[in-house]
Structure 1
């Protein structure tokens, strides 16, 4: 009896390179979503949740079009957020990232991620398969939480658009990271969203 959580970052956003906060999927993002749907088509999902932001909601709709048995539901705990600010342990090289982010934003992000962990990383009875369609930082926080890494280490974890991360828990055991940012379903030209030189 295993509780599985499949985490997918949304597909590529249209005009993302122009710095828009949110927007619809690009044509490439739609294709990424179609391919992750094909990849997951044999999984008997008990629940599918997605961030309410447009790019995640559209990814969920594309997946649902390919997997009509699922009924994706928005969940505000999966919103994009910044879960911490600079701390004593955060390397100084990250200071520029936090320059435009307020304390209020990081406090809200931290509270959101605390609630998200309490909502999703809770053992459910039987074999459970959950799909979460969300954002880079949210997935990074969950992976950091499962690995028990220091809080600032979420910044060192990156997920490609429609990359697949899988978490699992068996009865009496801790959560484990089964796979991280699996891109086997995406051809090289569709691997977007990672830092340059990391698209392998």
Structure 2
């Protein structure tokens, strides 16, 4: 049975202009060293600069592996719940019905392209954003569409999902940062206790 192996990663830490910081570059280099031990066939990335740069760094460690853009990986809000939880009400202020519909269209395009079995055994890296990682995990677990809201994803963290014909997807890893030293983990989040 052919298996599609997805290694879904968030880009390295970025500045307010969306460019990788020195920390983000180091995080991505360490992630690339980890990915270099896998039989990767392709690296796909979001069109946003932080993801493009992260994918290029990964590609430098995966000699001969094509690195290509996939518009479906762009950063967006994948689902605006009809009744947002009170803690999230401010987050969704200003989303009109057209923007919400576009977010759902993009989310469905993401899962339609990548969250399915392949015709042959493949190993693909997706360099994307926190919301898209959460959306793919939510989809793999067949969780309600609003479930993505509470899934955090660290910079340069790895999530691994396998897709098979005739079986539910397998979530192997989620938000794994074991390739990063403690001082490079959990960047991109506010202050707080982290495991």
TM-score (ref. length: structure 2): 0.93
Asked if 1:40 corresponds to 2:41, the answer is: no
Counterparts of 1:169 and 1:86 in 2: how far apart (Å)?
Answer: 27
Within the candidate set 47, 55, 67, 1:52 is matched to: 47
CA distance in 2, matches of 1:195, 1:148: 29
Q: Which residue of 1 aligns with 2:21?
A: 26
Q: After TM superposition, list the pairs within 5 Å mapping 1:1-200 onto structure 2.
A: 1-14=2-15, 16=16, 20=17, 23-88=18-83, 90-191=84-185, 192-197=187-192, 199-200=194-195
C-alpha distance in 2 between matches for 1:86 and 1:127: 36
Alignment length, in residue pairs? 193
The answer to whether the 8 A contact 1:86-1:95 is kept is no
The Cα offsets for residues 66-112 of structure 1, whole Å up to 9 and x where unpaired, read as 22222210111000001122323x32221011113333222111101
Structure 2 spans left out of the alignment, 5+ residues = none
Deviation at 1:24, TM superposition (A): 1.4
**TM-fit CA distance, 1:127:** 2.1
Structure 2 distance, partners of 1:29, 1:133, is 13
Q: Which runs of 4+ in 1 moved over 6 A?
A: none
Supply the distance in 2 between the matched residues of 1:179 and 1:66 (Cα, whole angstroms): 22
The superposition leaves residues 180-200 of structure 1 with CA deviations (integer Å, 9 ceiling, x where unpaired) of 000000111111124532532
**Partner SS for 1:129:** strand
User: Which digits, 9 at most, give the CA deviation of each residue in 1:36-87, with x for residues without a partner?
Assistant: 0001101111221000000000000111122222221011100000112232
Flag structure 1 segments of 5+ consecutive residues without an equivalent. Answer: none
The TM-score normalised by the length of structure 1 is 0.90
In 2, Cα distance between the equivalents of 1:198 and 1:133?
26
